[in-house]
Structure 1
Amino acid sequence: MKKKSVISLILVLAVGLFSGCGSSSDSKSTSSEGGKSKSVTVKIGAAAVPHAEILNHVKPALAKEGINLDVVVLDDEDQLNPALQEKQIDANYFQHLPYLESVAKEKGYDFAVAGKVHVEPIGFYSNKIKSKDELKSGSKIAIPNNPSNEYRALKLLETQGLIKLKSGIANYSATPSDIAENPKNLQFAEVDAAQLPRVLPDVDGSIINTNLVLEAKLDPNKALFREDSKSPYANLIVVRKGDENKKEIKAIVKALNSEDVKNFIKKKYGVAVVPAF
């Protein structure tokens, strides 16, 4: 082969090589800009049960929409709102509106509700009696000691005709000192919510949040009585104000409010968890 021909061949190959590299790069960039291969990660802090389990159930469906759901479970649920405030997570899923309003007022959080998913009907459990009619004068009842759930527990007892609260109570806040009528002279132990299943053997009854019942592997069907589906304590997807309008947040709420999730909740949790949509 002549020297001129060799040089020409080298030039042709070089041009082809650089041309090929440029073509590949442009194609990849176009695909990404077109949104077909682009994905977004959304980090959601959640209680372990049932919240994280429900979120993990919708992960595959959201992945098909380009949303990578990163579910974060913290040992201390009280840290989920600070984590959201400090932008360590994009949303959280563990609380109901009365609780959110109480802590937001205290801590100055500027949060918004993106959607509601389920209600965990708080219930009355006992190892000693089989019916509320068996409660005797002076029976000791354990209730959660955080403001919103304490009111919730007392309100449940009121709906069962066991006590009557003072009129005019606002902000979902009440303690045993707000009881106006207590015909059975029930005694109350205000206990950290997470400890309620553990103190059950030491009291005549305990009003326990359902997620704690499930975590303690108690049978939710054994509640002597519980809230009904009209409870205002639906568990929420909470975000920083303004983020509720983000496309990926709306997609997550839509997935959580689907018939698929409704059927999953009913099948997996029975009476312990009730869809709120």
Structure 2
Amino acid sequence: MTDTATLQSDADLALKRKHRAMWASGDYPTLASDLIWELGTRVVAAADVRPGERVLDIAAGSGNAAIPAALRGATVVASDLAPELFDVGRRLATEAGAELEWREADAEHLPFRDAEFDVALSTVGIMFAPHHQEAADELLRVVKPGGRIALIAWTPEGFIGQMFKTMKPFAAPLPEGAQPAPLWGDEQHVRGLLGERATDVEMVRESVRIDRFRTGEEFRDYFKHHYGPTIAVYHRIADDPEQVRALDQALAELGRAHGLDGSGRGTEWEYLLFTARRS
């Protein structure tokens, strides 16, 4: 078991506090329910979660994968760096009739025993741990040999990956050693992180259709109020009206380029679905 109270520098602890505050800002549970709840059901199906199995959802948020896994009869732990998201998750679980455990946990320092879980899941969650190799190592450590892994991550080329690219010039530089989240949506990168410790690897690019927004401006304004990473970038440039206008325009243009032009066509958000077994 990793000792989460040790082996972390002051800088790393400060970074994690910043990440926790970022995800606690805005209203990620509403965003997840409004836009991507179905991705949780998709990853649970891909992992073939079964009754009686012990399942860990890493960076679970408000439980869009953990709750469907529990409804299949699994014993589920929903873990996240930001426990502020759990209140909504508990309510949603109660409404669905699901029982599960909610546990505050850093994906890079999981407070669980080696080989404790039959299945590990993450739905656009583990990808945001800043140190990818550390998160991958912990993911593999807590899964039993022969256990199953299923992950969904936004691709660099897809809509959300391009949103992060659009925000990058306005965002704070990544800390030393940190990597961009959408790299988890790159097949070669994920293979490199897991190496020979994962077998029966399958990776497929899929997309979720988003019909909520008609225009780029609607998308932009929704993310400005709901999505922690977007809120953090706007907070950083809040005292520079020119930069705020530039980012407003850039995000609206991104939406228009992906079909949010007032026509009602909606847009597609591409993700990588990764499944494997622990060697």
TM-score norm. by structure 1 comes to 0.33
- Larger relative contact order, structure 1 or 2 (CA cutoff 8 Å, min sep 6): 1
Which of structures 1 and 2 has the bigger CA Rg? 1
TM-score norm. by structure 2 comes to 0.33
